[in-house]
Structures are given as C-alpha cells and as structure tokens.
Amino acid sequence: MKRILVLHTGGTIAMHEDVDGDVEQGAQNPLNDAHLDLPEVELTTENIFNLPSEHITPTHMLALYNRLKDAEQDFDGVVITHGTDTLEETSFFLDGTLSFEIPIVMTGAMRSSNELGSDGLYNFQSALRVAIDEQSKNRGVMVVLNDEIHAARFVTKTHATNVATFASPISGAMGMVNKRKILFFYDLPDKRTYPIKAVDKRIPVMKAYAGMDGHILSLLADSGIDGIVIEALGAGNLGEDAALGVLKLLDAGIPVVIVSRSFKGIAEPVYDYLGGGVQLEKAGAIFASAVNGQKARLKLLIGLENQLNTNDLNNYLHEF
C-alpha cells in the first residue's frame, strides 16, 4: 500500500461550467468525491488553496514548500493539482527547493469538471499512477497531463486552450503513461537545490523587441528592484539603446539575467558588438541556460534569497 499526499490548490481542474458556459470556482472540489480505480493507494487529501492559478504567487509556492519539506517522512509520493497557467512556475519553484527521493507529481486540466471531454479526473489518476511507480523516484518534480510525463525544469505551456498544451521544447517528454505501465525515456542531469525561507525579492521580467527603449531599463535602475530578467532576442542579444540601459542596471549593482525569447534553443553569448551576447556577458550579465523568463525569475529569486555570491549565482543560473 502506497501512501500518497494529495494537495489541491484550485484551478480549472477544481472548477465547473455554469449554465452560461462560463467556467467558475465552486465551494467544493469535484476531485474530493472522485472514484479512482487504484486500490493499492492510501490517499491523504488536503485542500491547501482554492485559487485560479493566475492568483498563485511565490508566497503560495513557499507555503507549498513548507508543507512538503518534511513529507518524505510520512508519504511515498505527492500529487499536487494546480491551474495550468502558472503550473510550470510552481513546479519549477518546488523542483529548485526540494530534494526528495519520493516522486512529486503536478497535474491540472484544460477543461473543467462538467465540460464535454473533461480531462481533470483522467489526469489526476494518471498523476497518481506515476507517483506510485517505483521508476518515478529521484526524478525531481514531474508534470503529468495528457498521457505525458514532463520534467518541471523543461516543461512549459504552449497553447492557450488545447488539452495537449504542455511540452518540453528542449528535451521532449520525459516519459509517457500507458494503459498498463509507466515508461521513462531519459534520466535528468544532476542539479543543485536550495532551501528557502522567504520570497521577498522584487524581480521583473521584460521581453526585448525591435527598437527597445533603454530609458525604461535606466528607470528601473533607481526603482529598488533586486534583479531583472530580460527575454532577449535570438541567442541573447539586444539593440544598442537597450544594451546601454542594461549597463546602467549593472552599474547600479542589479543582477541582469539574459534568456532567449525564442520558443526553442538556449541563450548563450555568440555575437561581439554593443548589445551582442558576448559584450553583455563581459559587462556582467548572466546567461541562464535552458529556461524561459518566468523560470529564470524564480531561479534568480531562489539564488538571491540564499545570498549566493556573484560566481555561485552565475554557475547556478547556467545550470540545466
């Protein structure tokens, strides 16, 4: 008998469609009354939040972390249900702060409980199947939807409404859920995790664009932010004016993290001219490998809250 902790946080998987066809929250989570064909599982269920995922903040992520940090003593696995819009961020935060042998699996739904083709109950059962599988140990936080298993560090939401929205553009799915068994395709590279006590750092994310005004970045240098993530062009490049704004941020001692705004690929310094990645890195900007802007923001937050020095912060953000 496997003991699984289930934490419900809200989201579409916990919602229903009203008479007008609009999706809304209810007082009761429909999964609490779900019938699951998993006799070998003992569930301990907690409705820790009931929030649309757009309302989830790092403070809520920290509450989840605090609930889970000792969970390995009492449970054989964890399943968390969550809205899909910020699911990748919560999963990434937990993956960067918890170091467990037991599986931690996150899931959600693109269609609410009473919509035609509702996927919530099926995804929930799939997540539980992954959580009780012996192969799932030591794989970090996983995201399970639509018969696919993704690593939290690589997964992202790719479609606004499609049930096949989650994908891992760089690595591909880590595994799949079949009728009779769970299959895994690869193991993850080792990474560092850091415990966390607070999430107080102010870190905005900005997307670069043609003709980006460096004055906006200059204003942020005096705004009291603790760091900034810029989704730069291509492999990590900016226009001349934006690059001058980055220099002012760096002169003010504000960490600047560069990722690519491209859907696939990684940011790396290639071009050596004003605004090119080589000169940005020489000036002190940090290139974050293999993560998008929202994940780089959380990684920077975790690093700053742990007071990593410049060299350690650079290495940490470079890590896959």
Could you tell me the CA-to-CA distances from 223 to 209, 218, 243, 249 in Å, in that order?
Answer: 22, 9, 18, 10
Handedness of CA 88, 89, 90, 96 (dihedral sign): positive
Element (H, E) at 128: helix 120-132
Coil, strand or helix: which one is 208? coil
Identity of the residue numbered 293: G
* DSSP-based three-state secondary structure for 42: strand
As given in the structure block, the two tokens for residue 210 are 């043609």
The tokens describing 90, both together, are: 């919560």
107 is catalytic: no
Q: How far apart are CA 126 and CA 136, in angstroms?
A: 13
List, in order, residues 6 or more apart from 274 with CB less than 8 Å away.
240, 243, 244
Annotated catalytic residue, options 9, 12, 107, 156: 12
The pair of structure tokens assigned to 180 is 């009779």
Active site residues: 12
